[in-house]
Copies of this chain bind each other. A is one copy, B any other.
Amino acid sequence: MPRNLSETDVADFREKLCEVATALFVEKGPEGLNMRELAARMGVSAMTPYRYFKDKNEILSAIRARAFSRFADQLEKALAQPGTPPERSRAVGLAYVRFALEQSCCYRLMFDLSRPRLAPLPELFAAERRARATMTDHVRLMVREGYFHGDPELIGSVLWAGLHGVVTLRLSGALGEDGEFEVVLAEAMRVLSGAYRTR
């Protein structure tokens, strides 16, 4: 009998490949991420990745899931820091924006509109749910502590859409770089959070 890949072998390879793929993606953009260079950086032949992933699409979905996961990490970390609920809630919003701008490649990957029909990977599904849950957690805190009133789920979605809208307009170049982004962002956050604040 030949050597069989153990579960952990497969998982390790997948994990390592996702790291390399993400690095390549960040370094050279969507067009620069190709199977040959990815395989070369992994130190294997061009076809080996196909033993661990169905196709390139599945790899894209996998690194998308990782991006969602790291995104959720950042938001949770911001929420976990000490301070009053409004301070912590604000920290989550700032973490959102910082991630979107500093790791814009990954943010683009997460919310890309014209992706070639992504593979319905369970890990991607889970990562999206987790990121979304984190988006409502700080709202839940604000409501529980009496700073906000309303349905946390709905409020979270509205705040999310607001941040996402401003950020994506910026990333697609629709909002100029001469401070317009900052002004619109601050105003949007002021209006949205003000709408749910208890008086």
**A30–B116 CB distance below 8 A:** yes
Q: Is A19 positioned at the interface, with any CB of B under 8 Å from its CB?
A: no
Pick the interface stretch among A72-80, A84-92, A190-198.
A190-198
Q: Indicate if the CB atoms of A112 and B112 lie closer than 8 Å.
A: yes
Selected contact of A161 from candidates B109, B112, B116, B166, CB within 8 Å: B166
Kindly supply a per-residue 1/0 record for chain A positions 141-170, scoring 1 wherever the CB is within 8 Å of any chain B CB and 0 otherwise. Answer: 000000000000010011011111110110
Tell me how far the C-beta of A38 lies from the nearest C-beta in chain B, rounded to whole angstroms: 17
From the candidates B113, B154, B195, name the one contacting A172 in the complex (CB within 8 A).
B113
Indicate if the CB atoms of B165 and A161 lie closer than 8 Å.
yes
Contact of A165 among B30, B108, B163, B194 (CB under 8 A): B163
Residues of the B chain whose Cβ atoms lie less than 8 Å from the Cβ of A114: 29-30, 108-109, 112, 114
Interface class of chain A by DSSP: helix
Residues of A in contact with B, size category: 35 or more
What are 26 sample pairs from A and B whose C-beta atoms fall under 8 A apart?
A: A30-B114, A30-B116, A108-B113, A109-B114, A111-B168, A111-B169, A111-B174, A112-B112, A113-B113, A113-B172, A128-B174, A154-B183, A154-B184, A157-B180, A158-B184, A158-B187, A158-B188, A158-B191, A161-B165, A161-B169, A161-B184, A162-B165, A164-B165, A164-B168, A168-B168, A191-B195
What residues make up the interface of A, taking CB atoms closer than 8 Å to B? 29-31, 107-109, 111-114, 116, 128, 132, 154, 157-158, 160-166, 168-169, 171-172, 174-175, 180, 183-184, 187-188, 191-192, 194-195
